[in-house]
Chain A
Amino acid sequence: MTVRLSCRIATDAGDTSVNAVFQGIGASVRRKEDLRFISGRGNYTDDINRPNQSHAIIKRSDRPHARIVSIDTNAAKAAPGVVAIYTHVDLEADALGGVPCGWQIHSKDGSPMAEPMHPILASGKVRHVGDPVAVVIAETKQQAKDAAELVAIEYDDLTGVSSVRDAIAPGASQIHAEAPGNVCFDWHIGDKELVDAAFARAHKVVKLDLLNSRLVPNAMETRAAIGEYDSMSGDYTLYTTSQNPHVIRLLMGAFVLHLPEHRLRVVAPDVGGGFGSKIYHYAEEAIVTWSAGKLKRPVKWTCDRSEAFVSDAHGRDHDSVAEMAIDQKGNFLALKVSTLANMGAYLSTFAPAVPTYLSATLLAGVYKTPAIYAEVKAVFTNTVPVDAYRGAGRPESTFLLERLLDVISQETGIDRVTLRLQNFIPVDAFPYQTPVALQYDSGDYQTTLTSALKAADWEGFEGRLASAKAKGKLRGIGISTYVEACGIAPSKLVGALGARAGLFEVAQIRVHPTGSVTVFTGTHSHGQGHETTFAQLVADQLGIPFNNVDIVHGDTNKIPFGMGTYGSRSLAVGGTAMVKAMDKIIAKGKKIAAHLMEASVEDIEFANGNFTVTGTDKVKTIGEIALTAYVPHNYPIEEIEPGLEETAFYDPANFTFPGGCHICEVEIDADTGVVSVINFTAVDDVGRVINPMIVEGQIQGGVAQGIGQALLEHAVYDDEAQLVSGSFMDYTMPRADDLPNISVGTETTLCTHNALGVKGCGEVGAIGSPPAVINAVVDALRDYGVRHINMPATPLKIWGLINAGKLPMAAE
């Protein structure tokens, strides 16, 4: 059964629903963490200073690819304030491991992916600009910087290679001995024979080559890490900018430093944005923790912005060929996709999963394409490692499909909305098994489409086009309909697909004697507003005031073993764990209530914070029950333990599948090629909404990043593999004035396999929006015979297309 709820979100200062009395599920409660953040009272890693702390500077490679001939640290060691300088030699002496990869893919022939050592400090070779070579630790950061300049590294330069096509070309420079031809793996999914057969009988095949541009995540807070060692206990603490402290503890403890986990505490305090880039275990975390133990004093490292450009994992960078076979009426018969995925110089934590199980498995999209075959070749290059970035694989497949759809429409003359509607998975087909492994549990793509068309006034476009023409502007409208898989993930399933970790989540709920509640969650909030959403959820379910619930996250010494936040999983997986823990609290509370009210447990009901006996006016509040549990004077002590605190682990049965429709309207100044985004409409199905204002914020933020990718952002490497756009002088971050008013609405079908019916909203904005923008730009250029534009659609590119006849400006 499909449950439908719909809502147009409109929040503004005058909205009386904000902080109205009702603060439960569905209320736009203002974010309680924001007072701390906007008044400068956040506690970020760089705000933390430990007694007797020293400072680390990482000496990085300025070469894309080179053999290290020698590293001379003598002059640097003699510089003022220097405490220690370490290179790979010191790490090898302690037998430290390399940075581990958390996902193993097998190639078509069954062989495991090439998994070359990812050293903490470069050993023998450097493989990208930014590759760490040495660490200089001094009394002050200034002194460490001064000394780092004196570290003399002699290099023997090798040819650098930045693009996947160059890297797999015969004779290309070889980056790792373990990966001949620079190929990490050559993987595939789907039924090739079925697809080939469909292609053979197809009325038409439409083919599109497209690039998904490389991005630098650029969270507002750069990474930082402080390692600390307690010589009395032998315990290590790492403060770090992480989205998942337990994952870091596991990876760093078990694979790099060989530290037992009970000796290692990882704290991820306030974190200023992650977007995926703070999921991964990075070399610097291991460096500061290990050197703190060596030096018996804390070691702090804070990344500079310029350093972040060459050391944070980048996103996207796929080079694909997509082909759709269609019948005479435009029905999709089969899809064939071949992708070259840039892994960068080393495998980052989740890198191999991104182009494969997070992308190729989404190639059905919202369409009932009966046969799909995809192959992915992952390639090493002399660039910063690439890993999951907001959307992780789903933006790539969505961009591919939604661009291809528009090209099919262009080449068949079938209207793009009609083409989508006719190929949609119908609403009565759920649960829907796609040909590429996933089973969608619920969705209603017609309704999100219809609602978005209406909200964007699709019908009225012709009129707006005419007025734009009168002003001398080109105007276009673009649509994108998408589904994504998040709420990651069922452990057993991902294990079978190559994940080396479980992806359950945990919640511990502690009801205090007077009825207030602390929730310990394994998820991590770094901008998402969990302290508010989760408090709303718990307050709502336990029937207690919102302000009586506090959320604790981010410290492995406080929270149970959780997997953190990414893949829009926090509410769907972490929130469901909370519901399970609350169920246990309520079940135990019922027993206590039954005892107190001298009734049988079966007759106790719980609602709105009250335990009542059916058919009577007897009532005990949850506060009274909690007090009884901690002051068990009148208590069935033989049957139940004192206290009111429960933990639940939850492993989801399936992914969740948010979907929706994004519509973008642009104007182009034909003289300059400048695109202005005039309107953006998003109607998404993210499952049940706990806090509409936060959902709106998440979607707007995601759309901002999507517009950023479509029009502005681009990590550009030159042919020698030097990063050309290595600062904000050249890397165009979207700014407020680049963005239109983003109108957000929701049309809800509930997730069928979690208690709340929630799906996740963290990434949908970045997934659905880029093709809507590019489709609008291509539409605006309809008179110029433009078939496709790769992102970002910069003024330079658009002007080149407009002038294609006049000047030999190559448009990609």
Chain B
Amino acid sequence: MYDFAYEKPTAIAAALATLKSHADSKALAGGQTFIPVLKQRLNKPSVVVDLAKLGLAGINVTPNAVVIGAMTTHGAVGGSAEVNKAIPALAHLASMIGDWQVRHRGTIGGSLANNDPSACYPAAVLALGATITTDRRTILADDYFQGMFTTALEEGELVTSISFPIPERAAYMKFRNPASRYAMVGVFVAKLPAGVRVAITGASQGGVFRHAQMERALSANFAASAIADVTTPADGLNSDIHASAEYRAHLIGVMAKRAVEAA
């Protein structure tokens, strides 16, 4: 790590002011991505602003939505009885992220701000059509994800909460990368009043994406058999030592069918 100044403000305004006034300042949430990056000296922040004391953690379930504060840990979401009741697929997704230690520190806001192409939450956010609230506006999921490690967030903009509409049925199926255990392919299917949405993470060079063909087929008939013949082109999918693009394309089909069966 390079040396940096560290601040732990207690008000969002103060956090924003610091982030604005210092070039190369960075927000710190659970640190599960950011601290390894610092350790490898891949980032040289001037000030690190810890978001822990901003009151951004917490879960609020209303009849129509599950609203989760940005600093809520994966462990808290996965273990929440209310989330398990309202959107079990979301709690299940959170409880499958990393390991105990990671889930105890890592946050939903950090995950979404980072938008790792192999991360799990982006699939839930996109498939459920969630809304991301920041210190200055709300952003629809469809506008938020803009390619791997890229989001609609502006410089110094902080995610404060995420609101998930409660679906009729939903499930997340994750094929873990054997080494990192991030999603090598993760498929989130959600049956919402307006139709079915299917989001795929881990697979594409462009990050999380919606699978239009599957959405059409499942909106017509929410059954695994409806997508049995849907194939995903391998073009644009990631290829690495663990999975070729063709294998990922195949896994998208398998995981999607399993998700529909589980939903």
Contact = CB atoms under 8 A, between A and B. Distances in A.
Interface in B182-231: none
Contacts of B251: 672
Contacts of B179: 712, 725, 728-733
B103 to A, nearest CB: 15
Main secondary structure of the interface of A (DSSP, over half): loop
B175 A712 contact: no
Given A671-B254, A800-B247, A807-B246, A795 B241 contact: no
Contacts of B244: 796, 809
Main secondary structure of the interface of B (DSSP, over half): loop
Q: Identify which of A728, A795, A800 gathers the most chain B CB atoms within 10 Å of its CB.
A: A795
A799 B180 contact: no
A145 B240 CA distance: 31
B243 A796 contact: yes
A222 to B, nearest CB: 14
Given A730-B241, A730-B242, A796-B243, A672 B178 contact: no
Number of contact residues on B: which range applies? 10 to 19
Contact of A796 (B180, B247, B254): B247
A133 to B, nearest CB: 18
Nearest to A716: B241
Contacts of A89: none
A790 interface: no
A794 interface: yes
A306 interface: yes
B263 to A, nearest CB: 18
A732 B181 CA distance: 9
A172 interface: no
Contact of B41 (A145, A725, A733, A795): A145
A724 interface: yes
B250 interface: yes
A795 B41 CA distance: 34
Interface in A722-747: 724-725, 728-733
B21 interface: no
Given A306-B40, A671-B254, A672-B251, A729 B180 contact: yes
A306 B250 CA distance: 32
B247 to A, nearest CB: 5
Given A145-B41, A671-B254, A728-B180, A809 B246 contact: yes
B166 to A, nearest CB: 30
Contacts of A799: 247, 250
Contact of B178 (A671, A712, A807): A712
Given A794-B242, A809-B246, A809-B247, A730 B180 contact: yes
A464 to B, nearest CB: 24
A149 B1 CA distance: 12
A155 to B, nearest CB: 20
Nearest to B234: A807
A732 B41 contact: no
B77 to A, nearest CB: 22
Contacts of B241: 714, 716, 724-725, 730
Contacts of B3: 142
Contacts of A800: 247
Interface in B20-56: 40-41
B136 to A, nearest CB: 34
Q: Identify which of B179, B180, B250 gathers the most chain A CB atoms within 10 Å of its CB.
A: B179
Interface in A196-243: none
A59 B243 CA distance: 33
Interface in A111-154: 142, 145-146, 149
Q: Identify which of A142, A800, A807 gathers the most chain B CB atoms within 10 Å of its CB.
A: A807
B66 to A, nearest CB: 29
A796 B2 CA distance: 39
A59 to B, nearest CB: 14
Contacts of A146: 2
9 contacts: A712-B178, A712-B179, A728-B179, A730-B179, A794-B178, A794-B242, A796-B244, A796-B247, A803-B250
Given A728-B179, A730-B242, 12 more contacts: A145-B41, A672-B175, A672-B251, A672-B254, A716-B241, A724-B241, A731-B179, A795-B247, A796-B242, A799-B247, A799-B250, A809-B244
For the complex of A and B, the 10 pairs showing the least CB-CB separation, nearest first, are: A732-B179, A729-B180, A732-B178, A671-B254, A730-B179, A716-B241, A796-B247, A796-B243, A724-B241, A799-B247
